[in-house]
Amino acid sequence: NAGVTQTPKFQVLKTGQSMTLQCAQDMNHEYMSWYRQDPGMGLRLIHYSVGAGITDQGEVPNGYNVSRSTTEDFPLRLLSAAPSQTSVYFCASSYLGGRGYTFGSGTRLTIV
């Protein structure tokens, strides 16, 4: 099925560990992004990409890295997990200009 696929759906990490959240889309969207959602709040932009090889920072980029080697994939790396990074992470993709904005189902990440 066409859409945005995120893995894993749930993850528990220990403080200081690193991990990669995977995101893949099959709609040939140029734009991809990562958001985090904390309890009772709206989403905040972490990083985004407007095409393969092009990434940039959003509102809350500290502690996260991204890369975009293909149009389809946009992984998010936590370098050294901290309890403040406990959140639900959403990946999204769209055509340039924001039309067809599609979210993945989210990854619930807990840092202990």
Partner 1 sequence: GIQVEQSPPDLILQEGANSTLRCNFSDSVNNLQWFHQNPWGQLINLFYIPSGTKQNGRLSATTVATERYSLLYISSSQTTDSGVYFCAVGLDNYGQNFVFGPGTRLSVLP
- Interacting residues with partner 1 (CB under 8 A): 31, 33, 35, 40-45, 48, 50, 58-59, 88, 90, 92, 94, 96-103, 105-106
Identity of the residue, 47 or 111, whose beta carbon is nearer to partner 1 in the bound complex: 47
- Strands 87-94 and 102-103, how do they pair? antiparallel
Smallest gap, in angstroms, from Cβ of residue 27 to partner 1? 13
Strands (DSSP E) contained in 26-103 are 31-37, 43-51, 54-57, 64-66, 76-78, 87-94, 102-103
Contacts (Cβ under 8 Å, ≥6 apart) of 110 = 11, 12, 13, 86
Identity of the residue, 49 or 85, whose beta carbon is nearer to partner 1 in the bound complex: 49
Smallest gap, in angstroms, from Cβ of residue 60 to partner 1? 12
Smallest gap, in angstroms, from Cβ of residue 94 to partner 1? 6
